[in-house]
Structure 1
Amino acid sequence: MSKPIQLTSPIAPESPRAVTFHIISTAFFTFVCYLTIGLPLAVLPGYVNIDLGYSTVIAGFAISLQYLATMLSRPQAGRIADTVGPKTAVLYGLIGCGVSGAILVVATLLSHIPLLSLCILMIARLVLGYAESLVGTGAITWGIGRVGAVHTARMISWNGIATYGALAVGAPVGVVLVHAWGLPVVGLTIVALAAMGYFLARLKQATAIIKGEHLPFRNVLRRVLPHGFGLALGSIGFGSIATFITLFYASHHWPNAAFALSVFGFCFVGTRLVFSSAITQFGGFRVATASFVVETIGLMMLGFAPAPWVAMCGAALTGCGFALIFPALGVEAVRLVPQHNRGSALGAYSLFLDVALGITGPLAGFIASRMGYHEVFLFASMAALIGVGLTVVLYRRSERAMGNMSVE
């Protein structure tokens, strides 16, 4: 095993209040990006399935296509953040968010031609996926470059708060916009939000690009592989909820499906706020193990839910469990590479989130079409349970490695 890289700050010490300001103000751009993702999230599956008349598998694929694009663009996003600068990556990403909103408007105006509308909608999803990887990787790298690598866990945590807070807000707002004015207004709102984020990002100071030899992406990927696989296992639950919770509720004629997404998001955010210091205090692997256990229980509640309030509680627990998996395993992954490869490491690690979400949509759609929506969440719970075992193994391997280093 490679010797871990020490996480030391490259900038002068600042007050805790200044550090918090830099972290939150940078994570704000992630919030804007994921607000553009969250607005159509609860309405697009129904649009594809009901308005355009395609199957649940196609509906799931249309949603997952965004994650596929994000996955494929992670290496380039990480390299852009490392070599051109994370601020530039964020600016490019926000432009992409706006373009995707404009394409979505065109797709919805052509709903009377289902195949053409679906194809254009998929283009919008691809553009949005590329934009997501640029903003997500760029914002974290930008924030760490400003406050120092010692605050990596906090930066990743706040980036996640921005991510799922935006999804929690965006999903019900998107439903309200569609009911009041129609789906084209959602696209126009995305364009406006992206433009606002772009002009604010231009005003924020860039960070210096750290010089040094950049490892080939395959080498970075190999170092973070076990941690990324754990992230993928935990992400299947989120992918199942994001893609099929609305159809799951509709199949039972239960109301307030969009609020199940909101509950997931708010519990995610609340957990990160309340337990933000847990990773530093107990270590990434211990926190990840506990998180996987909670997520497993929440997904099982969803799988066996006989009533909407049980499903809502399951979504809440899943949000609590999933909340700390990304930063807990991410901190351990970033330790394994030099600082000037930080963007590539984050891109490689995040790649597994994209793979999981990209696979989950069509796979869960297949499970739903053959067995039902309950089984989708039971499948996700089994993945989270495997995650428990993996993080225990990684923790024990890390302890042995540290013990060997102490002896040397």
Structure 2
Amino acid sequence: MGVPVRRLWVAVLCGYLAFGATLQALPAYVPEKFGGGALASGTAVGIAFLATACGRPVAGWLADAGWSRPVVVAGGVLTALGGLGQLLAPSLIILMIARLVMGAGEAALFSAALPWVLSGMRMAQRGRAAGWFGLSMWGGLAAGPVIASLIGDRVWWVVVGLAAASALLVLTTRSDPGRIEPLVRIRRFRDLVPVGVPLPGATVGLAAYCYGTVAALLVLRLRADGIGGDGIALAVFAAAFLVIRFAGSPAVDRYGGRTVAAVTVTIEVVALVGLALVGEAVGALVFTALAGCGMALIYPACVSMTLDRVRGLRPGVSMGVMTSFWDLGVMVAGPLGGLVAERLGFPAAFYLAAVSAAACVVVCLVFLRQRRAVSPR
């Protein structure tokens, strides 16, 4: 029985379109409904990624034991409940709780679906496959803000509907063809974080801080400083991201994840410095597009590095933990970037993100040297 790749792709896309739409809606929704500033808005965006970071290893752990399908279904249901909670939240605290529920749903949705998909792929094709399937998640994160911009006040009902559609799509698939196996008991730290995962995780986490800064603060920066382009900036980021992800994913298998990560994140450094300095709309949109290009291939590059280092053992847990580093980076970027923006101004927040990107490049280069040193063993 084959893996229902296309249906899983669409299911994850629907869930992350819902999640992505909230990224566009929250920066205006929080101040208008609850009176919060940049710090509150950034925290509302980032806190969902705390639940996502905690949930991914658990989802991967269950997927490795053959429980992919019920976990993915649960992800769609939790995402819908989180969206409904944000719509009906009477206070900022309830909104934050709803964000945590939605984040847990997103973790279950993608981190159980990806190992299910990769179980039907040869090792040599997994970098490309992860890049293509990852378009369901990143495409949703990128295109969701566009949907939110187009539909305005109805966005929260659309969020709930998209998440419900995600759950229904998975419910209509046949059972996970993988055999149900006993769950691996977690007795020590290495059972939860396999050897070989932390360094790719650090790479993707540092890059994620850059994405989190763009997601939480770009719209606010363009509005507050009167630059313009705030209505389409995230759409421009999305378009550049998707084009490069679709066209460039084969480069991961061809040139290796380390090389691709180092090159593309260098582009991100340039883009973030440009966003800190720019003072007019056209330039802001150019640097926004460049930022999308710089982020496009970091995830498949880190999937390739992770799978290479763990040699195919426990791929669900390994990728779940690695992706959790991404969530942690985005989570930190929201409140920390918001705090820096309130105290020192928005340009300072983007300079800090550029420093994070530069640190990511350094980790990649160190990782390259370390990998060459141990490869003969």
Q: Is the 8 A contact 1:211 1:340 kept in 2?
A: no
Q: Distance in 2 between matches of 1:301 and 1:255?
A: 15
State which drifts further: 70-79 or 141-150: 141-150
Q: Distance in 2 between matches of 1:373 and 1:381?
A: 13
State which drifts further: 130-139 or 255-264: 255-264
Amino acid at match of 1:30: V
Q: Distance in 2 between matches of 1:334 and 1:212?
A: 22
State the Cα distance separating 1:192 from its structure 2 match.
1.7
Corresponding position of 2:151: 177
Corresponding position of 1:395: 368
Corresponding position of 1:208: 178
Corresponding position of 1:35: 17
Q: Distance in 1 between matches of 2:179 and 2:279?
A: 54
Percent identical residues: 28
Corresponding position of 1:6: none
Q: 1:318 aligns with which of 291, 308, 319?
A: 291
Q: Which runs of 5+ in 1 are unaligned?
A: 1-10, 13-18, 108-115
1:118 partnered with 2:92: yes
TM-score (norm 2): 0.92
CA pair 149-89 structure 1, distance change in 2 beyond 3 A = farther
Q: 2:40 aligns with which of 39, 51, 58?
A: 58
State which drifts further: 338-347 or 352-361: 338-347
Secondary structure of the 2:310 match is coil
Amino acid at match of 1:31: L
Corresponding position of 1:80: 62
Q: 1:225 aligns with which of 178, 198, 209?
A: 198
Corresponding position of 1:45: 27
Q: Distance in 2 between matches of 1:331 and 1:212?
A: 27
CA pair 284-210 structure 1, distance change in 2 beyond 3 A = farther
CA pair 202-339 structure 1, distance change in 2 beyond 3 A = farther
Q: Distance in 2 between matches of 1:218 and 1:316?
A: 40
Q: Distance in 2 between matches of 1:86 and 1:340?
A: 17
1:127 partnered with 2:101: yes
State the Cα distance separating 1:315 from its structure 2 match.
1.4
Q: Is the 8 A contact 1:214 1:340 kept in 2?
A: no
Q: Distance in 2 between matches of 1:215 and 1:348?
A: 16
State which drifts further: 373-382 or 23-32: 23-32
CA pair 334-211 structure 1, distance change in 2 beyond 3 A = farther
State which drifts further: 373-382 or 154-163: 154-163
Amino acid at match of 2:359: I
Secondary structure of the 1:147 match is coil
State the Cα distance separating 1:361 from its structure 2 match.
0.8
State the Cα distance separating 1:324 from its structure 2 match.
0.9
> C-alpha offsets along residues 40-71 of structure 1, whole Å, 9 cap, x if unaligned?
21121222124321221111111111011111
State the Cα distance separating 1:253 from its structure 2 match.
2.5
Corresponding position of 1:188: 157
Secondary structure of the 1:40 match is helix
1:380 partnered with 2:353: yes
Query: Which is higher, the Rg of structure 1 or of structure 2?
Result: 1
Q: Distance in 2 between matches of 1:250 and 1:259?
A: 12
Corresponding position of 1:363: 336
Q: Distance in 2 between matches of 1:213 and 1:71?
A: 20
Q: Distance in 2 between matches of 1:167 and 1:245?
A: 15
Secondary structure of the 1:41 match is helix
Secondary structure of the 2:22 match is coil
Q: 1:274 aligns with which of 238, 243, 247?
A: 247
Corresponding position of 2:322: 349
Q: 1:103 aligns with which of 71, 77, 85?
A: 85
> C-alpha offsets along residues 301-331 of structure 1, whole Å, 9 cap, x if unaligned?
1111121211111111111111111111221
Amino acid at match of 1:351: S
Q: Is the 8 A contact 1:33 1:97 kept in 2?
A: yes
Secondary structure of the 1:297 match is helix
Q: Distance in 1 between matches of 2:183 and 2:146?
A: 46
Q: Distance in 2 between matches of 1:194 and 1:364?
A: 28
Secondary structure of the 1:376 match is helix
The alignment's C-alpha RMSD in Å is 2.1
Amino acid at match of 2:113: A
Q: Name the count of aligned residue pairs.
A: 373
Q: Distance in 2 between matches of 1:324 and 1:172?
A: 21
TM-score (norm 1): 0.86
Secondary structure of the 1:146 match is coil
State the Cα distance separating 1:215 from its structure 2 match.
7.3
CA pair 168-348 structure 1, distance change in 2 beyond 3 A = closer
Amino acid at match of 1:44: L
Q: Distance in 2 between matches of 1:247 and 1:38?
A: 16
Amino acid at match of 2:49: Y
Amino acid at match of 1:328: A
Q: Distance in 2 between matches of 1:245 and 1:320?
A: 16
Q: Is the 8 A contact 1:171 1:258 kept in 2?
A: no
Amino acid at match of 2:161: A
Q: Distance in 1 between matches of 2:121 and 2:54?
A: 29
Q: Distance in 1 between matches of 2:142 and 2:299?
A: 18
Q: Is the 8 A contact 2:56 2:321 kept in 1?
A: yes
1:262 partnered with 2:235: yes
